[in-house]
Amino acid sequence: MGATADFQYEGGTENISSVAHCMIRLRFAVKDLNKADQEALKKIPGVLSVTPAA
């Protein structure tokens, strides 16, 4: 099993300012949250939640 590097749901690669991971999370920092399709991200198999930072 592998990951794809499409990033369309995050608003494209130009909208990603950083990516970090820990044991159970993959965290994307996006420049414009409005460009990220949070509903589409939630529908990806294996994604348990999408939580914007406060």
> Cα–Cα distance between 39 and 41 in angstroms, integer?
5
Distance CA 43, CA 25 (A): 16
Catalytic site residues?
22
